[in-house]
Structure 1
């Protein structure tokens, strides 16, 4: 998910082992322990989509969180020394307002609840809370695990940590209220990343893929899958992910929902474009 990473397959070990300068791997030790999960009895159906419009996106933004709120786009970005909280002009991709995190912090997912913006950090175990209008930091919380994705259901914050769990958290105390394990027809689904709560479901990026899954947050069951492979090239956007080396983590990450249009906005880490899509 994070910093510029190179991954190698280790003989005899299934999965990816991250190496190098403080990067994030995809092992489930980031969770406090998997919640009970049961494979669903069906193959989650494919969700089709149409691209409605392509907007510019700042290629310096290593996108970790994306929100559409009151006709405004908010973005949280990562990488140490570069992490920010941004208010962005959708049509130009330019920043209208920003807060830069201190250099030791790696910014992660964001969400807005009760006129506050919550922002996770990756491995620093800090959660920053800002006033929605002024971007002034008003509170900090401790979070015991990695921070990856963040959304809310109107009452509780919902957090992912790179494993297969969704944590439901009290926004006033940051106490974990419940944990739901996510599974599909094969079993637990790991690498759950950026989150967006829409009409009773949680949509989640799966790290290092161009897939978004649709989750029933009550049961943890995956009830649909959206494949956005090659969305850049299919829409005439020239972007070579290998420019700075293979496996650099510049993958799909960022889901926002515009209820007025019934549209989703999606982008990726350092992508040159943000896409408005409608699901079929």
Structure 2
């Protein structure tokens, strides 16, 4: 999600109005009217270092490689704030990195086949790369804001900061279906980073210390992972410094299918946390 540039109260008002305009307008949607939500317990089994300059927008694991995308715009005197980096999952050693132009705000990423797709926040551009060597292959158009993205291996799932998850054809980014996310029968806005796991989507909710588990059949939230106590459970204690607009929040979910764990982090956080769900 973007870096907010206005005072928190007014940003919330404008943000809510923008969410109301970001939905699919004529495509079939699914809306759940009931919910069987439960609390998901967890334990922290490993803590790893994380680059505090990384304003995390996307995170996933493929073939024992951890991919991460970051957001932010800069000027000629700044370091690149938006980049994609891949690291060996074994030791988190950097393997390759792509720096975006400093006027582009990078967002969620995902891989289908041998292609790596990257959303941008408000430029309506999707960058397409070779997932192995990071060579740029082309660009596609996305009509809405870009936030989070994940895949089931065939289709892409995209969030726009609203209550909607768009199911998209990766070839041309045409929308195949739209799912409205609901919690206890009410629409849940601010859906951000996404991770597809065994037919469900785990999603960050922007500016909340929770990850929700979404049933793709009807969009209902069937579980909530409350990570407000992750510092205590992990034995870490870190200060994120100046965060006037509450942007340095939990964001980033990667599923390790080999160990059946989740790796999570936040924007500019100093740590990655490996979680075992209960």
Q: What CA distance in whole angstroms lies between the structure 2 residues aligned with 1:134 and 1:76?
A: 16
Is the CA contact 1:5–1:249 (under 8 Å) kept in the aligned structure 2? no
Kindly state the Cα deviation for residue 89 of structure 1 after the two structures are TM-superposed: 4.0
Return closer, same or farther for 1:25/1:52 CA change in 2, 3 Å cut-off. Answer: farther
> In structure 1, which of residues 2, 16, 20 is the aligned counterpart of residue 12 of structure 2?
16
- Cα pair 2:64 2:89 within 8 Å, conserved: no
Deviation at 1:236, TM superposition (A): 2.9
Q: Note the 1:20-99 alignment, pairs <5 A.
A: 27-33=19-25, 35-42=29-36, 44-81=37-74, 82-90=81-89, 93=92, 95-99=94-98
For the residue of structure 1 that corresponds to 2:21, the secondary structure is: helix
What corresponds to 1:278 in structure 2? 276
Question: Residues of 2 paired with 1:91 and 1:246: CA distance?
Answer: 35
What's the CA shift string for 1:101-151, capped at 9, x where partnerless? 111210000111101111100000000111011101102100000000100
- Runs of 5+ consecutive residues of structure 1 not aligned to the other structure: none
Aligned to 1:156: 155
Tell me the secondary structure at the aligned position of residue 17 of structure 1.
helix
Contact 1:206–1:212 under 8 Å retained in 2: yes
Aligned to 1:217: 216
2:169 alignment counterpart: 170
- Paired residues in the alignment total 270
Instruction: Give the distance between the partners of 1:54 and 1:26, measured in 2 at CA.
Output: 36
SS in 2 for 1:9: helix
Distance 2:14 2:175 in 1: 28
What per-residue deviation string (whole Å, max 9, x for no partner) do you get for residues 70-109 of structure 1? 0110101000131001112446555321000111210000
Indicate the larger mover: 229-238 or 216-225.
Answer: 229-238
Q: Does 1:255 align with 2:253?
A: yes
Question: How far apart, CA to CA, are the structure 2 residues paired with 1:266 and 1:196?
Answer: 11
**What is the 5 A alignment of 1:129-208?**
129-208=128-207
CA distance in structure 2 between the aligned counterparts of 1:50 and 1:276, rounded to whole angstroms: 9
CA drift of 1:265 comes to 0.4
SS of corresponding position for 1:30: coil
Offset, 1:217? 1.2
SS in 1 for 2:147: coil
How large is the Cα RMSD of the aligned pairs? 2.1
Contact 2:35 2:185 in 1 (8 A): no
Q: TM-score, normalised by structure 2?
A: 0.90
Structure 1 residues 94, 17: CA separation in 2 closer, same or farther (over 3 Å shift)? farther
1: CA distance between counterparts of 2:270 and 2:89? 13
Counterpart-to-counterpart distance in 1, 2:174 and 2:101: 25
- CA distance change for structure 1 residues 250 and 225 in 2, over 3 Å: closer, same or farther? same
TM-score (norm 1): 0.90
Superposed displacement of residue 39, structure 1? 2.7
Q: Structure 2: give runs of 5+ residues left out of the alignment.
A: 75-80
